[in-house]
Chain A
């Protein structure tokens, strides 16, 4: 069974659209994250939720909104997509904020 699963794996869409990326973990972890992989292959943290509460919110456009319906899910909604949003987005989870991360397989978003 996949521990951290995110869907879709590939997402191609037009500028201006609204899209969502879903993430689910079956590890019983308390903390979930969204990371963005930039063109230089740096991974930048976007958001972190602990027990459904937002604990990290880096400088990200407010077009990006995370939603955590329960501890096992952290979805990423993006409104009014822009060309610069094209990137790979990774979901991750951990048992507590200082514990090892477990990654999803990534979602490649392409905005045309």
Chain B
């Protein structure tokens, strides 16, 4: 079946540091890939997405590139802020297979001033 694996947290960084959160997936065919963010005390929000190989999703300074050859969708940001502290979830949808999101385990990011 489909699965998503992302790095265990927490990830602790200083403000303005470079962020990478790794995400790899297992799925046949060409799933769509997503990053969701859970800010403290809030529900999940869609951060960015990519629907085909080599697509780059971007939002709020975050980027992730759909790499079919490595089945990866790593999240990056060049300069993190304290306000980026949250839990980040990588997810996929395999079309024509129920259209259900499959989530990774989530990675908590803590950014210190």
Where the two chains meet, the residues of A that have a C-beta atom closer than 8 Å to any C-beta of B are: 10, 33, 35, 37, 41-45, 56, 88, 90, 97-98, 100-103, 105-106, 108
Contact = CB atoms under 8 A, between A and B. Distances in A.
A44 B98 CA distance: 19
A37 B98 CA distance: 12
Given A43-B46, A44-B43, 7 more contacts: A37-B100, A41-B93, A45-B43, A88-B101, A101-B106, A105-B102, A108-B99
Contacts of B100: 37, 88, 105-106, 108
Interface in B80-113: 87, 89, 93, 98-103, 105-106, 108
A36 to B, nearest CB: 10
A35 to B, nearest CB: 7
Contacts of B32: 41
Nearest to B42: A45
Interface string B53-71: 0000000000000000000
Interface in B24-62: 32, 34, 36, 38, 40-41, 43-46, 49
B103 A42 contact: no
Interface SS of chain B: strand
Contacts of B34: 41
Interface SS of chain A: strand
Contacts of A42: 45-46
Contacts of A101: 38, 44, 87, 89, 106
Contacts of B43: 33, 35, 43-45, 56
A23 to B, nearest CB: 15
Nearest to A33: B43
